[in-house]
Amino acid sequence: MSEKYNEIPMAGNIIEPGNSLKYKTGGWRAERPIHTDETCLWIKNGTCGRCWIYCPDNAVVLTEKNGKYAYAYNYDYCKGCGICANECPTDSIKMEKE
């Protein structure tokens, strides 16, 4: 925030797309989602994904490697809204106080 007028692009243009990644919103969280692999359909067979689809903050990280499915949260951005827990059809996500 120390840039002078001539050290920033013209007119407020932000020339680096998606640079909001530098702004961490994890600190907003009052509750954190805790995920259990055992009952998760993504882990089981790579289906469902409702938590990923409905996460407003892209904080659910689903990955697939050699037919194996992994699940993680990016707590840098998770605001703790609890949509993932609410939408999980198998109750694999619980919200816990921070």
Report residue 69 as tokens.
Answer: 């499915």
The minimum distance between CB 90 and other proteins, in angstroms, equals 15
Is the distance from CB of 25 to CB of 57 less than 8 angstroms?
yes
Considering beta carbons, is residue 39 or 52 the nearer one to other proteins?
52
Considering beta carbons, is residue 15 or 66 the nearer one to other proteins?
15
| Residues making contact with other proteins (CB under 8 A) | 1, 3-6, 8-25, 28-29, 42, 46-49, 52-59, 62-64, 74, 76-77, 79-83, 85-87, 95
Is the distance from CB of 72 to CB of 34 less than 8 angstroms?
no
The minimum distance between CB 38 and other proteins, in angstroms, equals 19
46, amino acid identity: G
The minimum distance between CB 91 and other proteins, in angstroms, equals 13
| Residues contacting residue 71 through CB under 8 Å, at least 6 positions apart | 35, 37, 40, 42, 43, 60, 61, 62
Considering beta carbons, is residue 25 or 36 the nearer one to other proteins?
25
Q: Give the whole-angstrom CA distance, residue 59 versus residue 8.
A: 30
